Structure 1
Amino acid sequence: MPKPTKGPRLGGGPAHERLMLANLAASLFEHKSIKTTETKAKRLRPVAERLVTFAKRGDLHSRRRAMQTLRNNKDAAHILFTEIAPLVENREGGYTRITKLGFRKGDNASMVSIELVLEPVSPKVKSTSSTKAAPAAAAPVEEAPVEETETTEESAPVETETETAAADEVETDAAEKSDDAK
């Protein structure tokens, strides 16, 4: 007879564990943070993170797979796909945080708070090997300080030019790149 590889189940058999984790995940998505035992939170984390990954994809197949796990809890699925997925769009994992709270009074079980990490994340700047080698080679050579002067160009205003949010974003990216080059 095959033996289970994950140890004892949470309060019963594997079907009961799936139901319990589905309910915990639905509560986590609806309330953004829940208080539970440490063991349940550790078992919930991979389930919740996989569901958030499905929500980030956002297609119909991902929605149906999430609904299978959430046991047709449409409210939780709607919150997951419409509210949570856009907030974690730039995050590459680590959507949940477990914080220890102490021990429960009755049975001394270790209690934790598991919450969704919804703070915006700044994307990592990819560095190439040529940018790492260039500052190292330029460091020993000392250059004399150069005075910088401001130059302004005047031109006639264009009447049909309009500023958009995308244009502002492109200008700020170009300014950041020019600052990095200096």
Structure 2
Amino acid sequence: MPGQRKLGRATDQRKAILRNLTTALFVSGRIETTEARAKEVKNIAEKLITIAIKEADNFTSKQVKISSAKVDAKGKKLTDSKTSKNGNKYLVIDREEKTDMVSVDSPSRLHARRLIMNWVYRPSTADGENVNVTDKLFDEIAPKYKGKNGGYTRIYKLGPRRGDAAEMVILELV
């Protein structure tokens, strides 16, 4: 018996469909698809959410020195003219150092992030900005289900599709 439904596709196509549907579910919160696909995506999504919940608070904060370019009122970088040993002139950007608090993942959280990144794509919005689904899963979705053990998704049946009578459903995050 296979680990997943075959969905009438070759392995690479099947994995691509499931990755697309899983990513779409996490980005929008709800998708409309066939029943067989929805059941597979539900299994994958619930496992990924469980991983994110277990590792959601597993990080530390650390102070880090950050060097950034000084900018003027218009947003342009401030530069300084320097001369090299052999007489060539070049521009150097003026820099300032700041200390900032940065969160550092523990090794197990890093592993969990990499497991999740294996199953989701990096989609972009209509503006062309990348959406980091892994961050959304850890920062928004996992805290919402913190005290819950499973049952993060719900399937609503819509009825047969007009063209081929495939059973259509809506899969959504609860």
TM-score range, shorter chain: 0.5 to 0.7
Are 1:81 and 2:78 an aligned pair?
A: no
Are 1:67 and 2:64 an aligned pair?
A: no
Retained in 2: the 8 A contact 1:99–1:113? yes
Q: Which residue of 1 aligns with 2:27?
A: 30
Give the ranges of 4+ consecutive aligned residues of structure 1 lying more than 6 Å apart after TM superposition. Answer: none
Retained in 1: the 8 A contact 2:5–2:40? no
**Whose helix proportion is higher, 1 or 2?**
1
Q: Which residue of 1 aligns with 2:103?
A: none
Percent pairwise identity: 41
Per the normalisation by structure 1, the TM-score is 0.58
Per the normalisation by structure 2, the TM-score is 0.60
Unpaired runs of at least 5, structure 1: 118-182
Q: CA–CA distance in 2 between the matches of 1:77 and 1:6?
A: 24
Q: CA–CA distance in 1 between the matches of 2:164 and 2:132?
A: 33
Q: Which residue of 1 aligns with 2:17?
A: 20
Question: Against the structure 1 CA distance between its residues 7 and 54, is the aligned structure 2 distance closer, same or farther, given a 3 Å change threshold?
Answer: closer
Query: Displacement of 1:61 after TM fit?
Result: 1.2
Larger Rg: 1
Unpaired runs of at least 5, structure 2: 56-108, 124-130
Q: Which residue of 2 aligns with 1:110?
A: 167
Q: CA–CA distance in 2 between the matches of 1:33 and 1:77?
A: 17
Aligned length: 114
Q: CA–CA distance in 2 between the matches of 1:67 and 1:57?
A: 16
Q: Which amino acid aligns with 2:16?
A: L
Q: Which amino acid aligns with 1:68?
A: N
Secondary structure (helix, strand or coil) at the match of 1:114 reads: strand
Q: CA–CA distance in 1 between the matches of 2:8 and 2:118?
A: 22
Query: Displacement of 1:48 after TM fit?
Result: 0.5
Question: Against the structure 1 CA distance between its residues 7 and 65, is the aligned structure 2 distance closer, same or farther, given a 3 Å change threshold?
Answer: closer
Q: Which has the higher contact order (CA 8 A, sep 6+)?
A: 2
| Mapping 1:72-151, distance limit 5 Å | 75-117=132-174
Question: Against the structure 1 CA distance between its residues 7 and 53, is the aligned structure 2 distance closer, same or farther, given a 3 Å change threshold?
Answer: closer
Query: Displacement of 1:6 after TM fit?
Result: 5.5
Q: Which residue of 2 aligns with 1:144?
A: none
Q: CA RMSD in A?
A: 1.9
